[in-house]
């Protein structure tokens, strides 16, 4: 019968000890369900990677260069109390899931073996944690080694009949630990007969059953918390263990349920497909933490989500599935400011009993809301309201915040007692996080980084754990790091692999003198052109330079020369990957976080004056009426004659005594730029405004001394016009060459509903009409929004209009139809970013595409794949937005610091009115702040809110009316909030 | 259906006559004289041969005929169709109707009658034949018919109102056609279906189906928990020679059959054997060359008939003379009932075959 069988045994049998297989079911996106059989060929040459072992070094597979991968684990690993001879750690899946932050600590957890079994399980359970784990294995100092135990014959474990996958994997981990111990023992003995120091290989697990079985088999094992307790600074480390596991054990006894259960995944998917449920990203209103909205593809307007119960444990940013509530439960969006810190000030983080999801005070706040809504007619009509029924994807990240002082029971620094405290995140949209800590006393008054671990149905707030402290509140270092973390800006120094990609000559790199050098291939020699650059003062990363000269036929030749970054950054090397993930340079008030290493950004690529540099040039022939006759693209070598600041350039142009060719060229540029701008405006380009201020800092300490609003000179718009022109020309060329894969930038026309509120406000308050049928109509009607007595009114309206717009985005041309390419704000059919490759990755990609379009070099395959480009676009869109936000937050922080201890009276404008407060914008400092009724007098004064006319009639003193768009005088002070220890700019009515 | 050329035997009329007469004796003497009329040819069977299929089996007969069957299941969207008596749920197509199942226990009840014939697709491949040749098509039709006859199988493929499993049964004859393969293919199919497993369903009711990715958690199509349910039917061949009934005839035996029946039978734990369907198969004996009796052979002093009508009359008279005449077909009612009885009776052929195959799976 033996010879008859064709079967390949699934269990390794005697005849085939090195063959096994793995069977599982795979469900594909299209709904197919497949049985997958993977054959496993077990081998014996997978090294243990311990420097103690010589045998493995001999058998380890060699690469093409005949080299063995260097061994990772130290031959003298650190020991601990229980394992004085040193230890190699083998954590199981739960250990990583609960304590990833611990493993990332620099001071502890070295020499760790990551089993393949564990790595795969981590990948299945949490992709972000998996990526962090992979990053750890690349960190040479940490000595993390991935051991492929499933492929090594000795450590392979076949699943027993009836055994669950989990049990089998646990057994595989134990088996691997057992083998490792034996193997290391043998290795040490083989090395020298005398050596007694044999490191233990210790399994780290939080699974009690696993620990018990390990003990029974005599395998060294320890729970994560037991192990950490044996280390130095155990208190800090213990706080970093995820809270989810402990909780379950503690609270298993009593289960009071506060939130409805989520639907099953299949039920949600079915519902979404059938259109009865909707999927979207959950957003919390910045003014009211109880009000959220979800934009779903089915409807134009976002769905409203009111109250904790309906938002059902969703945290701002999560991808959720919602169900629209019956019409009688629809509500109007709130006109009231509700801040968590005020409503729930007195919550006790420890108390779990009798806790309701809606506290009494919250209920009252909501009650008033409902009453108000019912008494209303037109404005604030009830809107479709929904509730969250499930979460597709949590987008939890690490949150920066501070410990709520009121939630700390004992503040003594010596007390090592563990207690529950609240962490109040900086981001108001995020609920308080309950964290368990032993160092509450020390953490008070510090900026703290924490993560959310879980949010169970029986807990009112999410539970998380401490990651690390950034430093004292309000200290520059801590606050800067905090905002970089909040906006996910990668600010660590460039790793060595990236720096290795730089030219070996370093700062001595020069454009080769010999024009036969390969660097000169297909490069135009434009060194004799009178090129200059105009930038903000103190700019070191000079992306662009310009020139203009008259042609014999009466037209002008105008050139825009952009730093040739793509010459230095080749696709797909480490530097390119780093730049791609950073996406953009981030500018803070006192700091710049570069996308490319300094050497390139500020020297080799930067178009510095008086030296020769590689450039990518766009040359036009332009008529004196600013009509484009022709455009030409070429790689070039230029020598900038001068680097001006906007102001210097302006002075030089205005100075009639300067008659040299360079100044004449600049005058030509200015003349042409004005005509170009007029053309753009005629085509319907929008002139939008955002509140821009500049913080003046003391040069030494970079402490803020003054705040100024930015001045705009003619030369600003000179540069801007030609950059726009270059971008548009390049976009057209790239699209022509690569209709499917050109990287472009679009700005969608905003949906009409976005402007509804603003248009109504203008109509009611000022009798002005805002027309939004086209960008031209909008531009014209914005021009008419003037109030002769108040020049700033127009700017205010523009600021508000800007907020109604969509944000511009990068995209890959193959993903949209041509009419969708349109840039609404610039009124251009097609647009891309080309002119700042030093600080934006999109421009670098555009450079590569343009170089291929003019047959300078072949296009890298990564730029030909639509899918890859879409990935790049998605990332740089996020990075771009984050960089802007981080920049704004930085300015906000410095403005706050500049105002510290001051008491100023300034003019402000009312931007938004609620029933219990209003938002005031102060143009002088570019700050926007809320004035609540209760700030005006205690007890909180009564007020009548006329929502239709946007008037708040406050009954304080002899009565005071506040209207929308009204110019009021406010007093600006700063105050430190007692409960939070946070400094805030405070406005009050004068 | 006329038997394919390769099934025709090259036996002389005398040899045919000899075989027939020995089979017609009481008790019959079969070609393999050690076998009784109800004995099957010995076979070797193996299941779960194909790792990538949901179920598979292989059977080789002693004469060298060998078959391989693989069963593959795919999730398919059901066509929405109105159910009489449920007019309240007659909403637009595509609308999800979350039908509340009162009790999980009567889930089997619920799936009753919901299966459709198109959910099972069988393809038969025989070496040397095109897939649209008559033999493979006929065999596939026979197998499909028997599998669908009881409605058991197709109902088992029901997932919910919107989805079902589609079963692809690929039947492959590995060897050249050495004997009539219907019974072999059916038994192999039976064995493959017995070992077929479907991924375990995790979603509920009418949701888009979601399955457990652990293959060990998959459920058997003919699972142990469904013991009371009928096994997949098996086709056995029975032939009649004179008044004798012989099961599982060999190629040569078939060449002298008066009539051949394909009997599809099944068993269930409580009710014993049951006939699912019966079809007559045109035996190859019809095409055998008739023997020429001395009386009609001029070489042996006989007289050659003058006309074809004359020849017919003369042959009528020959029927009992021992000279080979191809049988004319047809079967007596009593023989038919005899076959049915032998198949379904307690300890009969049906039970015996199915039990034997069941043991393959366990062993």
pLDDT in tens, A510-530: 888 888 888 888 899 999 999
Q: Higher model confidence: residue A897 or residue B186?
A: B186
In SS3 terms, chain B reads as CCCCHHHCCCCCHHHHHHHHHHHHCCCCCCCCCCCCCCCCCCEEEEECCCCCCCEEEEEEECCCCEEEEEEEEEEEECCCCCCCCCHHHCCCCCCCCCCCCCCHHHHHHHHCCCCCHHHEEEEEECCCCCCCCHHHHHHHHHHHHHHHHCCHHHHHCECCCCEEEEEEEEEEECCCCCCCCHHHHHHHHHHHHHHCEECCECCCCCCCCCECCEHHHCEECCCHHHCCCCCCCEEEEEEEECCEEEECCCHHHHCCCCEEEEEEEEEECCCEEEEEEEEEECCHHHHCCCCCCHHHCHHHCCCCCCCHHHHHHHHHHHCCCCCCCCCCCCCCHHHHHHHHHHHHCCCCHHHHHHHHHHHHHHC
- For residue B247, tell me if it sits in a domain: yes
Does the pLDDT at position A728 exceed 90? yes
Residue A120 distance to chain B (closest CA, Å): 14
Query: Is residue B333 situated within a structural domain?
Result: yes
CB–CB of B208 and A6 under 8 A? no
| Within-domain flag for B54 | yes
Chain A environment of B204 (Cβ under 8 Å):
264, 266-267
The candidate with the shortest Cα–Cα distance to A808, out of A734, A729, A731, A877, is A877
Q: Which of residues 24-83 of A touch B (CB under 8 A)?
A: 24-27, 31-33, 35-37
pLDDT above 70: residue A251 = no
Domain presence at residue B105: no
Task: Look at A698 and A75; give whichever has higher pLDDT.
Answer: A75
Are B51 and A8 within 8 A, CB to CB? yes
Averaged pLDDT, A734-741:
92
| d(CA A266, nearest CA chain B) in Å | 6
In A, minimum Cα distance to B214 occurs at A24
Percentage of chain B beyond pLDDT 90 is: 25
Of the residues B215, B224, B359, the best mutation for testing chain A's interface (the one with the most A CB atoms within 10 Å of its CB) is B215
CA-nearest residue to B199 within chain A is A25
- State mean pLDDT over A376-405: 79
**pLDDT digits 0-9 by tens, B152-174:** 788 888 888 888 999 999 999 99
Rounded mean pLDDT, A579-599: 90
Residue B114: pLDDT band with limits 50, 70, 90: confident
- Rounded to whole angstroms, the Cα distance separating A854 from A842 reads 18
Name which of B52, B96, B203 is nearest A35 (Cβ-Cβ). B52
Short-list A309, A464, A353, CA closest to A398: A464
Token pair of A579 as six digits: 């730049």
Supply the pLDDT for residue B103. Answer: 39
The Cα–Cα gap between A844 and A519 comes to: 18
State residue A255's pLDDT score: 58
Lowest-confidence region among A270-284, A799-813, A948-962, B85-99 = B85-99
Range 247-276 of A in CB contact (< 8 A) with B: 264-267, 269-271, 273-274, 276
- CA–CA min distance B233, chain A (Å): 25
pLDDT over 80 (residue B76): yes
More confident residue, A193 or A823: A823
The answer to whether the CB atoms of A31 and B75 lie below 8 A apart is yes
The fraction of chain A above a pLDDT of 90, given in percent, is: 25
Residues of A in contact with B44 (CB under 8 A): 1, 4
Q: How confident is the model at residue A8 (pLDDT cuts 50, 70, 90)?
A: low
Structure tokens of A62?
A: 């060699």
CB pairs under 8 A between A and B: 84
Task: Give A264's contacts in chain B (Cβ within 8 Å).
Answer: 203-204, 207, 210
Average pLDDT of A548-561?
94
With CA atoms as reference, the chain B residue closest to A276 would be B96
Q: Confirm if A113 and A89 have CB atoms less than 8 A apart.
A: yes
B212–A25 C-beta distance less than 8 A: yes
Partner residues linked to A905 by β-bridges? A971
Q: What average pLDDT does this structure show over B253-263?
A: 90
Whether the predicted interface score ipTM is above 0.85: no
Chain A contact present for B49, CB below 8 A: yes
pLDDT at B47 exceeding the cut of 90: no
A159, A265, A274: residue with CB nearest B95 = A274
Tell me the nearest-neighbour CA distance from B257 into chain A, angstroms: 33
In the numeric block, the tokens 């450590």 are attached to: A155
B62 touches chain A (CB under 8 A): no
B33 falls within a domain? yes
CATH number of residue B192's parent domain: 3.30.230.70
The answer to the question of residue B51 being in a domain is: yes
Residues of B in contact with A276 (CB under 8 A): 96
Residue A410's pLDDT band (cuts 50, 70, 90): low
pLDDT score of A549? 93
pLDDT in tens, A918-937: 888 888 888 888 888 877 77
**Domain assignment present for B92:** no
Judge: A35–B46 Cβ closer than 8 Å, yes or no: no
Q: Considering only residues A931 and A584, tell me which one the structure prediction assigns the higher pLDDT.
A: A584
Considering only the beta carbons, identify the residue of B73, B95, B203 that sits closest to A266.
Answer: B203
- pLDDT digits over A758-804, tens only? 888 888 888 888 888 888 888 888 888 888 888 888 888 888 888 88
Q: Do A37 and B44 touch (CB under 8 A)?
A: no
DSSP letter at A114?
E
Residues A780 and A687 sit within 8 Å (Cβ to Cβ): no
The whole-number pLDDT of residue A926 equals 81
Query: What are the C-alpha distances in Å from A264 to residues A261, A436, A884, B94?
Result: 9, 30, 38, 20
Answer yes or no: is pLDDT of A983 > 70.
no
- A969 CB within 8 Å of a chain B CB: no
Name which residue leads in pLDDT, B108 or A711: A711
Cβ <8 Å between A35 and B74: no
Q: H/E element holding A454?
A: strand A446-454
Q: Please, are residues A137 and A112 in contact by the beta-carbon 8 Å criterion?
A: no
Query: Measured between beta carbons, which residues in chain B are less than 8 angstroms from residue A26?
Result: 213
Identify the pLDDT of residue B87. Answer: 44
Mean pLDDT of chain A: 84
* Residue of A24, A270, A275, A392 best to disrupt the B interface, most CBs of B under 10 A: A270
Rg value, chain A, Cα: 32
Structure confidence by residue, pLDDT tens digits, B312-334: 777 777 666 778 888 877 888 89
Residue numbers of the domain that contains B193: 7-81+110-289+326-362
The model's pLDDT over A598-650, given as tens digits with 9 standing for 90+, comes to 999 889 999 999 999 999 999 999 999 999 999 999 999 999 999 999 999 99
In this prediction, residue B97 has a pLDDT band, given cuts at 50, 70 and 90, of very low
Note the pTM of the prediction, 2 decimals. Answer: 0.69
B60, B74, B210 member nearest A266 (Cβ): B210
Q: For tokens 């497949």, what's the residue?
A: A34
Mean pLDDT of A826-845: 93
CA B85 to chain centre: 37
Residue B211 in contact with partner chain A when CB distance is under 8 A: yes
With a cut of 50, say whether residue A353 has pLDDT above it.
no
- Answer whether A765 touches B (CB < 8 Å): no
Poorest-pLDDT segment among A255-259, A471-475, B137-141: A255-259
Query: How far is residue A510's CA from residue A303's CA, in Å, rounded to a whole number?
Result: 59
Query: What mean pLDDT is reported for chain B?
Result: 82
Residue A549: enclosing H or E segment and its boundaries?
Answer: strand A544-550
Measure the CA dihedral B172/B177/B180/B182, to 10°: 0
By three-state DSSP, how is residue A696 classified? strand
As for how many domains chain B has, the answer is 1
A-chain CB neighbours of B75 within 8 Å are 31-33
The domains found in chain A, sorted by start residue, are 1-41 (no CATH), 55-241 (3.40.50.1010), 265-352+364-473 (2.40.50.690), 496-665+685-743+827-886 (no CATH), 899-989 (2.40.50.140)
pLDDT of residue A456 exceeding 60, the answer is yes
């Amino acid at each position: 019968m033996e010879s008859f069988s064709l079967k390949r045994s699934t269990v390794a049998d005697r005849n085939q000890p090195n063959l096994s297989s793995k069977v599982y079911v795979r469900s594909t996106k299209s709904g197919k369900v497949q049985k997958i059989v993977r054959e496993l060929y077990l081998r014996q040459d997978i090294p243990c990677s311990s420097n103690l072992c010589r045998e493995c070094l001999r058998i380890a597979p060699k690469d093409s260069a005949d080299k063995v991968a260097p061994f990772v684990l130290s031959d003298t690993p650190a020991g601990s109390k229980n394992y004085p001879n040193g230890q190699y750690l083998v954590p199981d899946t739960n250990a990583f899931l609960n304590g990833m932050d611990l493993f990332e600590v620099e001071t502890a957890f070295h020499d760790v073996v990551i089993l393949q079994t564990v790595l795969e399980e981590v990948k299945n359970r949490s992709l972000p944690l998996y990526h962090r784990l992979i990053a750890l294995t690349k960190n040479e100092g940490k000595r993390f080694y991935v051991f492929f135990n499933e492929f090594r014959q000795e450590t392979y474990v076949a699943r027993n009949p009836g055994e669950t996958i989990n049990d089998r994997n646990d057994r595989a981990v134990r088996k691997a630990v057992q083998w490792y111990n034996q193997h290391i023992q043998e290795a040490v003995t083989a090395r020298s007969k005398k050596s007694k120091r044999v490191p233990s290989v210790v399994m780290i697990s939080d699974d009690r059953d696993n620990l018990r079985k390990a003990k029974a088999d005599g395998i060294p094992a320890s729970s994560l918390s037991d192990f950490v307790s044996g280390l130095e600074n155990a208190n800090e480390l213990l706080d970093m263990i995820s809270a989810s596991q402990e909780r379950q054990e503690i609270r298993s006894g009593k289960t009071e349920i506060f939130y409805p259960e989520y639907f099953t995944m299949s039920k949600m998917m079915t519902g979404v497909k059938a259109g009865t449920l909707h999927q979207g990203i959950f957003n919390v209103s910045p003014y009211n933490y109880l009000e959220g909205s979800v934009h779903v593809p089915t409807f134009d307007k976002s769905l409203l989500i009111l109250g904790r119960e309906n938002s059902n444990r969703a945290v701002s940013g999560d991808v959720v599935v919602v169900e629209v509530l019956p019409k009688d439960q629809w509500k109007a969006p709130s006109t009231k400011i509700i801040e968590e810190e005020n409503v729930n000030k007195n919550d006790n983080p420890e108390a779990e009993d009798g806790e309701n999801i809606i506290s009494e005070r919250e209920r009252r706040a909501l009650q008033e809301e409902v009453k108000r809504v019912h008494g209303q007619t037109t404005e604030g009509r009830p809107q479709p309201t929904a509730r969250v029924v499930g979460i597709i994807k949590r987008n939890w990240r690490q949150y920066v915040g501070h410990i709520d002082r009121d939630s700390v029971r004992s503040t003594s620094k010596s007390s090592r007692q563990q207690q529950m405290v609240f962490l109040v995140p900086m981001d108001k949209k995020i609920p308080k996080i309950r964290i368990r800590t032993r160092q509450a006393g020390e953490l008070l008054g510090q900026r703290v980084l924490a993560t959310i671990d879980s949010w169970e149905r029986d807990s009112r707030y999410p539970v998380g754990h401490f990651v690390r402290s950034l430093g004292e509140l309000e200290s520059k270092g801590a606050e800067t790091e905090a905002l970089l973390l909040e906006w996910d800006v990668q600010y660590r120094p460039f790793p060595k692999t990236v720096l290795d990609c730089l030219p070996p000559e370093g700062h001595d790199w020069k454009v080769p003198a010999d024009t036969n050098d390969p660097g000169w291939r297909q490069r135009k020699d434009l060194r004799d052109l009178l090129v200059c650059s105009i930038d903000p003062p103190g700019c070191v990363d000079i992306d662009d330079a310009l020139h203009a000269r008259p042609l014999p036929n009466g037209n002008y030749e105008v050139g825009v020369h952009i730093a040739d970054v793509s010459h230095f950054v080749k696709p797909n090397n480490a530097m390119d990957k780093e730049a791609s993930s950073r996406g953009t340079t981030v500018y803070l008030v006192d700091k710049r976080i570069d996308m490319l290493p300094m050497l390139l950004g500020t020297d080799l690529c930067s178009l510095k004056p008086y030296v020769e540099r590689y450039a990518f040039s766009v040359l036009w022939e332009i008529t004196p009426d600013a009509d484009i006759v022709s455009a030409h693209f070429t790689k070039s070598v230029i020598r900038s004659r001068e680097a001006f600041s906007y102001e210097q350039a302006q002075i030089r142009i205005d100075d009639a005594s300067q008659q040299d060719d360079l100044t004449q060229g600049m005058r030509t540029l200015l003349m042409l730029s004005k005509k170009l701008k007029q053309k753009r405006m005629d085509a319907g380009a929008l002139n939008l405004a955002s509140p821009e201020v500049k913080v003046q800092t003391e040069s030494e300490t970079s402490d803020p001394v003054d705040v100024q609003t930015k001045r705009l000179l003619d030369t600003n718009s000179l540069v801007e016009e030609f950059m726009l022109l270059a971008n548009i020309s390049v976009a057209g060329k790239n699209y022509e060459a690569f209709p499917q894969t050109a990287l472009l930038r679009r700005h969608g026309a905003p949906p009409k509903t976005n402007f509804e509120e603003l248009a109504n406000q203008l109509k009611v308050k000022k009798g002005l009409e805002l027309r939004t049928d086209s960008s031209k109509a909008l531009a014209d009607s914005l021009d008419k929004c003037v109030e002769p007595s108040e020049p700033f009114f127009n700017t205010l309206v523009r600021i508000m209009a800007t907020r109604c717009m969509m944000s511009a985005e990068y995209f890959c041309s193959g993903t949209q139809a041509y009419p969708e390419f349109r840039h609404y704000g610039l009124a251009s059919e097609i647009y891309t970013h080309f002119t700042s490759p030093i600080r934006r990755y999109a421009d670098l990609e555009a450079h590569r595409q343009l170089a291929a379009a003019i047959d300078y070099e072949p296009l890298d395959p990564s730029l030909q794949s639509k899918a890859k480009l879409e990935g790049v676009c998605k990332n740089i869109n996020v990075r771009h937005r984050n960089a802007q936000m981080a920049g704004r937050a930085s300015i906000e922080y410095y403005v706050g610091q500049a105002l510290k201890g001051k008491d100023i009276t300034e003019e402000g404008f009312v931007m938004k009115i609620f029933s219990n407060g209003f938002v005031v914008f102060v143009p002088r400092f570019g700050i926007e702040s809320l004035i609540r009724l209760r700030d005006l007098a205690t007890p909180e004064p009564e007020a009548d809110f006329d929502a239709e006319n946007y008037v708040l009639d406050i009954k304080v003193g002899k009565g005071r009316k506040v209207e929308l768009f009204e110019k009021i005088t406010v007093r600006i002070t700063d105050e430190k909030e007692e409960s939070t220890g946070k400094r805030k700019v405070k406005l009050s009515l004068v | 259906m006329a038997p394919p050329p390769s099934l025709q035997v090259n036996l002389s009329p005398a040899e045919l006559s000899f075989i027939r007469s020995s089979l017609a004796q009481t008790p019959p003497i079969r070609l393999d004289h050690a076998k009784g009329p109800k004995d099957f040819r010995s076979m070797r069977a193996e299941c779960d041969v194909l790792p990538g299929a949901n179920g598979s089996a292989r059977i080789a007969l002693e004469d060298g005929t060998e078959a391989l069957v693989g069963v593959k299941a795919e999730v398919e969207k059901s066509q929405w169709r109105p159910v009489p008596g449920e007019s309240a749920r007659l909403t637009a197509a595509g609308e999800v109707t979350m039908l509340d199942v009162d009790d999980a226990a009567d889930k089997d009840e619920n799936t009753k009658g919901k299966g459709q014939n198109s959910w099972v697709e069988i393809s038969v491949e025989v070496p040397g034949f095109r897939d649209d040749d008559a033999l493979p098509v006929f065999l596939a039709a026979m197998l499909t018919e028997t599998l669908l006859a009881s409605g058991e199988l197709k109902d088992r493929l029901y997932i919910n109102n919107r989805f079902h499993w589609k079963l692809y049964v690929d039947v492959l004859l590995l060897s050249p056609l050495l004997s009539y393969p219907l019974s072999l293919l059916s038994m192999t199919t039976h064995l493959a279906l017995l070992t077929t497993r479907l991924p375990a369903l995790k979603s509920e009711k009418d949701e888009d189906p979601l399955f457990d990715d652990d293959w060990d958690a998959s459920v058997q199509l003919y699972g142990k928990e469904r013991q009371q349910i009928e096994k997949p039917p098996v086709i056995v061949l029975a032939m009649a020679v004179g008044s004798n009934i012989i099961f599982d005839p060999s190629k040569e035996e078939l060449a002298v059959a008066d009539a051949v029946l394909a009997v599809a039978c099944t068993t269930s734990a409580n009710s014993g054997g049951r006939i699912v369907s019966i079809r007559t198969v045109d035996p190859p004996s019809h095409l055998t060359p008739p023997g020429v009796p001395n009386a009609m052979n001029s070489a042996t002093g006989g007289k050659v008939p003058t006309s074809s009508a004359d020849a017919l009359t003369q042959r009528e008279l020959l029927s009992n003379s021992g000279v080979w005449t191809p049988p004319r077909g047809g079967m007596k009612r009593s023989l038919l009932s005899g076959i049915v009885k032998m198949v379904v009776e307690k300890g009969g052929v049906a039970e015996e075959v199915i039990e034997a195959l069941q043991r393959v799976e366990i062993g």
